[in-house]
Amino acid sequence: MEDTNSLIEQRRQNLAGLNARGVNPFMNSFSPDAQCGTVRTELARWAEWNKSPEPKGEPVGLAEGTRVRLAGRITAHRDMGKSQFLDLRDVSGRIQLWVQPKVLGEDAAEIFKLLDLADFIGIEGTLFITRMGEPSVKVESFTPLGKSLRPPPGKWHGLEDTEIRYRQRYLDLMANEPIREVFLKRSHILKEIRSFFHLRGYVEVETPMMQAIPGGAAAQPFKTFHNALGCEFYMRIALELYLKRLLVGGVDKVFEIGRNFRNEGLSRRHNPEFTMLEAYEAYGDYATMMETVESLIRHIALTVVGTLKIEHRNAEGEVFKTIDLSHWRRARYKDLVCEKAGDDWFMVSPEERRRRAVEDLKLSGDIAAGYQDFEVTAAVFEKLVEPTLIQPTFVTHLPKQLVPLAKISAEDPTTVEVFECCINGQEIAPGYTEQNDPIAQREALEHQAGGEQQKLDEDFLVALEHGMPPAGGIGIGIDRLCMMLLGQESIRDVILFPQLKPKV
């Protein structure tokens, strides 16, 4: 960027001033011995202990007078003339610095004047508590570590321009504390998912993102070209078919967390690339996987959020939705449809169902002329039932036409052994008793490919013919899981760099 303004110009002049004094404003390294937020917390603990009239037992926290070396970004500056207060921030939080020119000495005081808000510095000093009770560091020396040549976003309102927040996420992270929290917690969620599966004896793998035939889901893929091989590849739309190959190969419990790519619309709930978890367990079935999903999500909620009652708040901070992860409902697809569409929904003729859906339920926009009967019912489910499933619900006994790749239920052969776990009005995790009959699988995939032989993943079918153990499988959309757990209503607020149209 070539844009300049007076604020950038002033910072460049300060940079030149540092260079002129032989100070390197961009150091190669610095070794702090503590973190800002941690030191602040520990010093406050000590102050609390010290405050009681008769201190009892061993001191806690970090005492006044302790020497520390800290590094971070200057995020506030309060000039008192002969006394200056700065806030220094690192990933752990902030702490106040007290800087007195006379303590620094004349040369250092001159250099101090050339610092700007948002610069990175390292400091050395001793801990103390101000008259106002603020845990602080009395700075004895400092080192410029990384100069900021552009003004940071404001401190009051933070950064609110959504476009800048998404395009320059680093500014969002710098200015908006709650946003930083969301992404730190997303990292924590991923960590807990991994440890959950590892503890259960699962193996984590990585399978190809570039695939000759994109399979495992019905979605538009992105296409790319490999120069050396001279052929086209597709970015994967699902993980499934490679993980099942591993079941064939004898990896009995396997999971992958990875990016899928779907060349479709963008919305509050859709990003073209999104993170998917898929897990497969040999000798398990959909019931095994329901238990897995419930245990996993409970575990994450407790370890990351610290509660099973997840609160979603509006801009005013009022709770408008609470998701209770301590009760998991199980309900049949047909029963849920009847709740919205009438108890006799499945007893009337297909023509009557279509009429009711279009006229009574006002779904004309969602039901295409060529829809089959089961698709009419599916529209009712998707538009009228799913959005109301805010509390965790396993929807089971889906009609077999709806999920052609799953195994038939022994107790009701018109349905399949499949669940859709819905939370927060969205499908969060589908789970299957996976098809391991290669002949049935071939028929289903051939039907799905609609006679286009090139769309058939022959290598996958050959793998199944070598024998696959019965297995339960799940997929969990990690972004939507994060939205649900972290109280975010837009997928862009749980993806660090959401896709936007490039600016020219």
Partner RNA sequence: GGGUCGGUAGCUCAGCGGUAGAGCAGCGGCCUUUUAAGCCGUUGGUCCAGGGUUCAAAUCCCUGCCGACCCA
Minimum distance of RNA from residue 118's CB (angstroms): 9
Site for RNA in 293-312 (CB under 7 A): none
Site for RNA in 353-412 (CB under 7 A): 365-366
Q: Is 7 in the site for RNA (CB under 7 A)?
A: yes
* Residue 391 CA: distances (Å) to CA of 223, 388, 421, 474: 38, 9, 10, 19
Does residue 78 sit in helix, strand or coil? Answer: strand
Q: Is 268 in the site for RNA (CB under 7 A)?
A: yes
> How many whole angstroms separate alpha carbon 175 and alpha carbon 160?
9
Minimum distance of RNA from residue 19's CB (angstroms): 17
Site for RNA in 195-254 (CB under 7 A): none
Q: Is 462 in the site for RNA (CB under 7 A)?
A: no
Residue length of the chain: 504
Q: Is 284 in the site for RNA (CB under 7 A)?
A: no
- For RNA, which residue of 33, 48, 107, 160 counts as binding (CB under 7 A)? 160
CB nearer to RNA: pick between 98 and 142: 98
Minimum distance of RNA from residue 10's CB (angstroms): 5
- Which tokens belong to 188? 């924590």
- For RNA, which residue of 158, 342, 425, 470 counts as binding (CB under 7 A)? 158
CB nearer to RNA: pick between 154 and 467: 154
Q: Which residue, 426, 425, 420, 423, is CA-closest to 392? A: 423
- For RNA, which residue of 64, 110, 124, 134 counts as binding (CB under 7 A)? 134
- 453: CB partners within 8 A, 6+ apart: none
Q: Is 56 in the site for RNA (CB under 7 A)?
A: no
Q: Residue 421: what are its φ and ψ, rounded to 5°?
A: -90, 115
Q: Is 117 in the site for RNA (CB under 7 A)?
A: yes
> How many whole angstroms separate alpha carbon 295 and alpha carbon 326?
10
User: In the sheet that 471-477 helps form, which strands lie side by side, from edge to edge?
Assistant: 203-204, 253-261, 273-282, 471-477, 426-433, 415-423, 393-399, 329-332
Minimum distance of RNA from residue 495's CB (angstroms): 11
First to last CA, the chain: 12
> Applying CB under 7 A, which part among 189-197, 262-270, 320-328, 444-452 lies near RNA?
262-270
Report whether 337 contacts 380 (CB < 8 A): yes
CB nearer to RNA: pick between 76 and 358: 76
- Which tokens belong to 329? 């409902």
CB nearer to RNA: pick between 178 and 208: 178
Q: Return the bridge partners of 204, or none.
A: 255
> Applying CB under 7 A, which part among 127-135, 304-312, 421-429, 447-455 lies near RNA?
127-135
Q: Is 85 in the site for RNA (CB under 7 A)?
A: yes
Q: Return the bridge partners of 163, or none.
A: none
- For RNA, which residue of 21, 51, 67, 78 counts as binding (CB under 7 A)? 78
Size of the site for RNA (CB under 7 A): 53
> Applying CB under 7 A, which part among 157-165, 189-197, 227-235, 251-259 lies near RNA?
157-165
Q: Is 426 in the site for RNA (CB under 7 A)?
A: no
Q: Is 61 in the site for RNA (CB under 7 A)?
A: no
Q: Is 131 in the site for RNA (CB under 7 A)?
A: yes
CB nearer to RNA: pick between 20 and 132: 132
Q: Return the bridge partners of 128, or none.
A: 136
- For RNA, which residue of 24, 187, 267, 326 counts as binding (CB under 7 A)? 267
> How many whole angstroms separate alpha carbon 51 and alpha carbon 68?
22
Q: Is 154 in the site for RNA (CB under 7 A)?
A: yes
CB nearer to RNA: pick between 50 and 207: 50
Q: Which residue, 190, 248, 238, 187, is CA-closest to 216? A: 238
- For RNA, which residue of 60, 80, 203, 348 counts as binding (CB under 7 A)? 80
> How many whole angstroms separate alpha carbon 418 and alpha carbon 18?
66
- For RNA, which residue of 35, 136, 377, 396 counts as binding (CB under 7 A)? 136
Neighbours of 3 (CB within 10 A): 6
> How many whole angstroms separate alpha carbon 379 and alpha carbon 354?
10
Q: Residue 422: what are its φ and ψ, rounded to 5°?
A: -110, 130
- Which tokens belong to 362? 């006002």
Q: Is 128 in the site for RNA (CB under 7 A)?
A: yes
> How many whole angstroms separate alpha carbon 200 and alpha carbon 257?
16
* Residue 399 CA: distances (Å) to CA of 198, 264, 385, 431: 34, 26, 16, 14
Q: Is 314 in the site for RNA (CB under 7 A)?
A: no
- For RNA, which residue of 17, 151, 272, 438 counts as binding (CB under 7 A)? 151
> Applying CB under 7 A, which part among 27-35, 123-131, 272-280, 295-303 lies near RNA?
123-131
Q: Is 228 left (phi over 0), alpha (psi -120 to 50) or beta?
A: alpha
- For RNA, which residue of 36, 159, 279, 395 counts as binding (CB under 7 A)? 159
Amino acid at site 394: F
> Applying CB under 7 A, which part among 405-413, 427-435, 474-482, 495-503 lies near RNA?
495-503
- 417: CB partners within 8 A, 6+ apart: 285, 286, 406, 407, 408, 409, 432, 433
* Contact positions vs RNA (CB under 7 A): 5-7, 10, 76-83, 85, 87, 96, 98, 100, 116-117, 128, 130-134, 136, 151-164, 166, 265, 267-268, 365-366, 490, 492, 498, 500-501, 503-504
